[in-house]
Structure 1
Amino acid sequence: MVTLRRATAADVPVLRTVCALAYRDNPLMRWVLPDVATRTDACAAWLGPALERYVAHARADVAVAGGAVVAVAAWRPPGADLTGGEVPVLPSPAGVLRALVGADRAAEVLTALARSAPLAPATPGAYLNYLAVHPDHQGRGVGAALLDHGLATLRAPGTGTPWLATTDPRNLPFYARRGCTTAGTVELAPGGPTMTVLHAV
């Protein structure tokens, strides 16, 4: 049986691990972190600071099975400040990326990712940055339960349209079944992954 709850700070180490294992073969991660031998750890290092900020300053829901956290959905509601306030907490996600791949490569990656911003809804609602399910629990409806839970909570009149982006084409039918429509695509690099932006209308 799977139960859903809000994430806490104590969950962050597990969230890093779940995301790293779920995303290690994602097209974006293969492009940003091409070294297979170090990608899983590098992915956990890069995403860890962002997950901490989502838990503390935005919204992160987790799925629990057998007493263990097996999936996470991290949402950024409109107006959420993920910088850490007046005294930002280190490391920053961008800072970790620079440490992993170098300043020039990090700037290239972040600039490419930012090109999806014009595809946001006219009135953007909550943005789903991470939806990750541990590989051992994929294909069991866990991700769907988390997504449906988040949309039921965040998709309300007057709150804007929830949205998300993915570089894995295998995810598109999953999101389409949950009422998400494609707003457009962005090629992150020549020969690199294509990011598809979806609106949860």
Structure 2
Amino acid sequence: MNPTPRILVLYAHPAHHHSHVNRRMFDALRGLPNVTTRDLYECYPDFHVDVALEQSLLAESDLVVLQHPLQWYSMPALMKEYLDVVLEHGWAYGHEGHALRGKDLLLAVTTGGPQASYTSQGYHRRPFSDFLPPYEQTAFLCGMRWHPPVVFHGARLADEAAISRHVQVYVDKLSRYPRWTEEPEQPVPADIAAGEYIHDPEEP
């Protein structure tokens, strides 16, 4: 790890200016020391990702944050394209692909629906953790350390106070890196993903 830990935030929102929560989260990170922010839809509106540039930014980082809204139980198309072309065999994984080994990976994601919809009895029929294996496996394949995600449920109905609280928690978490990587994980309720569920508008 670098003497001063470096954080790279990869942000993908196809409608950034209409975002209620992600935009606030991302904008709050601009100017933070040791944090590099990349708005992928702003950088690559044509989806032509500069692989060499992005690999150099990843190689210089200690913590990589994937921030995006959940779309069809997955990531936005440009985030998927980024991972497809940047995490090359022989660079990010494979026999000689060690560029990301030992780095930390954190998912910061928002959902439109409430937390209660991500249960076995809810609208989506599964706990949120069931949608995380592709992210966890990506970290594993690249030799990265996967950490419990930061999740904001119910973004469509969130009020100003809840959004502000979540933004501050997000900023504080990145500001405390890498201290929290060594803290024990907190137990979570059954049928709920291991992560930090900061807000759910259906709860008091």
TM-score with structure 1 length normalisation?
Answer: 0.27
Structure with higher strand content: 1
TM-score with structure 2 length normalisation?
Answer: 0.27
Structure with higher helix content: 1
